[in-house]
Amino acid sequence: MIRRAVLPGAIAMLAWAQVSPERIRNADREPGNWLTYSGAYNGQRYSPLAEITAGNVGRLQAAWAYQIQQTGKFSTSPLAIDGILYITEPGGE
């Protein structure tokens, strides 16, 4: 659930990103984006990107982290759209 205070900003950002139904239908043609819950409508959660390999995976390091404001467990499926990462957070109080 998205907090009410965040909702207007999230709507504005999504409108700015302009993800058309056509882009979502053809999401598998945009390997640099993750436009739906499973990446594309086929639901395979597969990316053909090849930057991470068995030879370099051990050298990966976190570039940044985001700490949510609520405690407890939750899960989210981030969306990557044109270089911006979108996530949801747990609901309000």
Q: Does residue 88 register a pLDDT over 90?
A: no
Q: Which residues contact 27 (CB under 8 A, 6 or more apart)?
A: 33, 34, 35, 36, 39, 40, 41
Is the overall model pTM greater than 0.95, yes or no? no
CA distances from 63 to 56, 60, 89 (A): 15, 9, 20
Q: Does residue 12 register a pLDDT over 70?
A: no
Q: Does residue 10 register a pLDDT over 70?
A: no
Q: Does residue 27 register a pLDDT over 90?
A: yes
